[in-house]
Structure 1
Amino acid sequence: MIRIFKTEDGTIHEKKEMQPGSWIALTNPTASEIMDVADACRIDPDHLKAPLDEEERSRIEAEDEYTLILVDIPSIEERNGKDWFVTIPMAIITTKDVLITVCLEETPILSSFMDGRVRDFHTFMKTRFILQILYKNATQYLQYLRIIDKKSEVIENKLHQSQKNEELIELLELQKSLVYFTTSLRSNEVVLERLLKIDKIKKYPEDTDLLEDVIIENKQAMEMTSIYNGILSGTMDTFASVISNNLNIVMKFLATVTIVMSIPTMVASFYGMNVLPKGMPFADSPYGFWIVLGFAVALSLIVAYIFNKKDLF
């Protein structure tokens, strides 16, 4: 899908045709759309296709007619009826006349610009627009990290009352999201550091300060990711040990109950053998059954008392 925007009189407007100073937003474009934009803007089609590969790495490529900036952005992926966090590539291509963004799916990072919710945003100020996108990307990571933190707290509360593996699996999914974030943020950091050294990208006095703000936000996101990842790892290890310990307690209790209950069975087995009544204790007594039953129960109670003293119940 192709959408074209241009800032006029301080507000964003959607256009039907490409114009100098406009922003071309490609969202999961078709092959024909890629070729149309590539021909119109004299861009290598492979650079427009690069962000459509989920495994594409973040980088900067400066060509004669344009500059390609490829970064990873956070995204939400639905699996098994639940939302999890991943990262996908997004390309920002700046030419002499227009700025182009290419992404596999719609993202709130770009939607905020399309809806006019970003202040001091102008499509013709391409360098500042790039930095504003990168700043919004870093803040989006921070927002998703806070959601991950809240989700982990909810799952942790469930784990206090549950011995199932579902909660641990959910924590594992959150940890996978943090791994994706860590890898992507480190790649983005390399891109941002390189932006500081490219004079071609910096055209306005405020751009250097804005770029430094982007780098600071990105570093903060990296630190938060590292902290949350460490907390999740410790939580998973702790609750895995708790679940294993609870299982051991249950097995110990069942084994103790089995031993205590087996004593009357053993006594009854001895008296149930096919031997002559002569010589069997209480065989001739009218109260023999109750005496043997009482003996078995008393023996079981003694064993249960001993086990209870040893804290086996």
Structure 2
Amino acid sequence: MIKYYQRTVKDNKLKKLAEFQIGSLVYVSDPSEEEVQMISKKFALEEGLILDALDPYESPRMEIKKNVAYIFSRIPESKESLKQTSTFPVMFAVGKDFLMIVSRKNPDFLISIVDKRKKYFTTQRTKLFLRLFSEIAGMYSDLLNKINKRINYFSLNVGNFKDQDIINFINYEVILNDFINALLPLRHVLTNILSGKTLELYQDDKELVEDLQLNNEQLIERSKSNLTNIVNIRQAHEVISTNRLNRVMKVLTVSTVILALPTMITSFYGMNVRLPFDKNPDAYWGIIASILVLIGVLLVFLRKKKII
């Protein structure tokens, strides 16, 4: 699917065009082979790079081919809950008279953002690209805020974890690693852009790129910090679980030792042989008293050894 949009400094609304015009935003979503070949020839683009943008595992990077800058990034998406959070690739192609967005999925929200922001003009290709990059960074920030709140909740209830909580923790770890893998390569992309060798930048554009660099570093540090918190909380949970298991095993062991004494003594009097006091009518109470004394002595011994 290929769509064309345009808004000049004189327009209040984003216009949808039937055909391409200079200064347009070209929106390519899940294109067919014929559409890939068509835009490749029409805009003099590298067909291989367009196909790379459709690869779900494509990493962020930047390439310059025939005066066209190809910037690959990954957009975070969260469907019904944080459990279904992931990232997907998108490519921005900044040409002489166009800005193109290519993705296998449908990032229609990018068009909605351009439509809502009155100062987002398609004729200002580089500035529009940088602003869309900033919007994507904002999406990362929002999702990191949600994950951080969940991690803070778990940190306050580290001793009351359920099996599902452990599964959620593993899921958050996967999400954060995905975020870091998507954000780290953007360091080099933004550095190349700021150099001015790949895209023509005005002073306002340079300030926007610098803000993007700072924001990107903060997102990386926040992701790493959340990962560290997850590891610490998981380790704390493991220690607490181990201590609880040790206490249970200690109670069971002590109980076994205590019960072994009366079992051993009474088993002697269950044999068909002559034993001391076997004819004494008060032998039962003597045996009970002996058992209680031995148990008392054992408990005192275990207490002194700080076993119980």
User: TM-score, normalized by length of structure 2?
Assistant: 0.86
CA distance, structure 2, for counterparts of residue 312 and residue 108 of structure 1: 65
1:283 aligns with 2:282: no
For 1:161, the equivalent position in structure 2 comes to 160
Kept in 1: contact 2:192–2:198 (CA 8 A)? no
For 2:39, the equivalent position in structure 1 comes to 37
1:121-158, Cα deviation, whole Å (9 max, x unpaired):
01221111111111112222222221111111223334
CA distance, structure 1, for counterparts of residue 44 and residue 113 of structure 2: 25
Partner letter of residue 287 of structure 2? V
- Distance verdict in 2 for CA 1:73–1:295, change over 3 Å: same
For 2:213, the equivalent position in structure 1 comes to 215
Task: Give the Å deviation of 1:82.
Answer: 5.7
Q: Give ranges in structure 1 of 5+ residues lacking alignment.
A: none
For 1:196, the equivalent position in structure 2 comes to 194
For 2:261, the equivalent position in structure 1 comes to 263
CA distance, structure 2, for counterparts of residue 76 and residue 191 of structure 1: 25
RMSD value over aligned CA atoms?
A: 2.7
For 2:132, the equivalent position in structure 1 comes to 133
For 2:251, the equivalent position in structure 1 comes to 253
1:156-190, Cα deviation, whole Å (9 max, x unpaired):
3343223x554344323323322222232220010
Kept in 2: contact 1:66–1:95 (CA 8 A)? yes
Give the total of aligned pairs. Answer: 306
Kept in 2: contact 1:70–1:90 (CA 8 A)? yes
Kept in 2: contact 1:109–1:137 (CA 8 A)? no
CA distance, structure 1, for counterparts of residue 94 and residue 283 of structure 2: 101
Q: Give ranges in structure 2 of 5+ residues lacking alignment.
A: none
CA distance, structure 1, for counterparts of residue 147 and residue 224 of structure 2: 13
Task: Give the Å deviation of 1:194.
Answer: 0.2
Kept in 2: contact 1:51–1:89 (CA 8 A)? yes
CA distance, structure 2, for counterparts of residue 77 and residue 310 of structure 1: 57
- 1:89-238 counterparts in 2 under 5 A? 89-107=89-107, 110=110, 112-113=112-113, 116-162=115-161, 164=162, 166-238=164-236
1:300 aligns with 2:295: yes
- Distance verdict in 2 for CA 1:29–1:298, change over 3 Å: farther
Partner letter of residue 155 of structure 2? E
User: TM-score, normalized by length of structure 1?
Assistant: 0.85
Q: Residue 83 of structure 1 aligns to a residue in which SS?
A: helix
